[in-house]
Amino acid sequence: MPPHAATRPPYLITTDPDRLDLDTVWGWLRQAYWSAGIPRETVARAFAHSIPFSLFDQDRQIGCARVVTDRATFAYVADVFIAESHRGRGLSVWMMEVVRAHPELQGLRRWLLGTRDAHGLYAKVGFRPVAHPEIFMEIHRPDLYRES
């Protein structure tokens, strides 16, 4: 499927992997609370195996998100980030609306994400706390990138 795009001038969101500014995204993610110290190669592999969403102001990347999915039943939203200089403009809500509207992500049975502090944002696009947390299990290694 060709890349999906949405515009809200001067902003553009695209899933074109060739537009992803990997160095910029890595710069954000290696400092984010959920991925501090993440190696560039890990970010490259993660985005290559996901649907990448890149947010641009003109030609400058100012945000990102990625969706890990089988494109049939399940999607996990990860690495949602808006550059600090562009926060407070509704761009994160718009990006999540674009993510949820992506043609390859329709009819999915379950969407998941993890957040420490953005519950209000995700509630605006339909996310709710897990109804039955007792059915989920995890292996979580929060300091993995600091160990290497």
Question: Which domain CATH number covers 68?
Answer: 3.40.630.30
Number of domains in the chain: 1
- Return the pLDDT at 102: 97
- Return the pLDDT at 143: 85
- Please state, in angstroms and rounded to a whole number, the distance separating the CA atoms of residues 64 and 81: 5
In a 13 Å sphere around the CA of 84, the CA atoms on its Cβ side amount to 5
CB neighbours (10 Å) of residue 35?
A: 21
Share of the chain above pLDDT 70, in %: 99
What are the tens digits of pLDDT across the range 44-102? 999 999 999 999 999 999 999 999 999 999 999 999 999 999 999 999 999 999 999 99
Prediction pTM value: 0.94
- Return the pLDDT at 146: 81
- Return the pLDDT at 86: 97
- Return the pLDDT at 148: 57
- Give the pLDDT band (50/70/90) at residue 147: low
Strand 110-113 to 74-82 pairing: parallel
Q: Token pair 């501090």 is at which residue?
A: 36
Share of the chain above pLDDT 90, in %: 94
Residue 119's domain comprises: 5-147
